[in-house]
């Protein structure tokens, strides 16, 4: 789903929104972790997370919408497995913000270090006079 004028930017935003919405829930993150090891049916997932089939279907649906999980129905069993999305764009976005914050904290560390140097110098002067 893409909206408005700049289709490329809007597609990325819509993709990010779906990904981050899907990842915002601990149960869904747990489902992804589990599916990283092996495929599982919705029943197995529901049992593992101590929830109803309906509840797990909703969680899996959110993950499917985000492209993080795919499901296949064979007979009465719906099997879930990791989807093709690898969250590379989301990881790159997070990394850019991590670098920004690292730079800000480095600058803050420099300010604090300079203040400490000045404070220590003032203390040394007081001791010499005193």
Q: In whole angstroms, what is the distance from residue 45 CA to residue 78 CA?
A: 11
Average of per-residue pLDDT values in the chain: 88
The stretch 76-97 carries a mean pLDDT of: 90
| 7-82 CATH | 1.10.10.10
Report the candidate in 97, 89, 34 with the shortest Cα–Cα distance to residue 67.
89
Interacting residues of 97 by C-beta distance below 8 A, sequence separation 6+: none
Angle, nearest 10°, between helix axes 7-23 and 26-37? 90
Q: Which two tokens stand for residue 53?
A: 């089939």
Question: Does residue 25 sit in helix, strand or coil?
Answer: coil
Q: Which residue has the tokens 């997932």?
A: 45
State how far the alpha carbon of 19 is from the alpha carbons of 16, 61, 73, 98, in Å: 5, 12, 24, 18
Contacts for 18 with CB less than 8 Å, ≥ 6 apart: 65, 66, 67
> Per residue in 6-46, pLDDT tens?
554 455 556 788 899 999 999 999 999 999 999 999 999 99
Q: What does the alpha-carbon distance between residue 60 and residue 48 come to, in Å, rounded to a whole number?
A: 14
Question: For the whole model, what pTM was predicted?
Answer: 0.69
């Amino acid at each position: 789903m893409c909206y408005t004028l700049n289709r490329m930017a809007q597609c990325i935003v819509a993709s990010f929104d779906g990904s981050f919405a899907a990842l915002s829930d601990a149960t869904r993150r747990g489902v992804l972790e589990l599916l990283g090891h092996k495929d599982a049916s919705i029943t197995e997932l529901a049992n593992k997370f101590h929830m109803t089939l309906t509840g797990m279907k909703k969680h899996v649906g959110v993950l499917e919408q985000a492209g993080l999980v795919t499901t296949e129905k064979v007979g009465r069993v719906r099997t879930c497995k990791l989807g093709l999305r690898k969250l590379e764009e989301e990881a790159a976005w997070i990394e850019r913000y991590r670098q920004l914050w690292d730079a800000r904290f480095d600058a803050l560390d420099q300010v604090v270090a300079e203040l400490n140097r000045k404070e220590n110098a003032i203390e040394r002067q007081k001791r010499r006079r005193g």
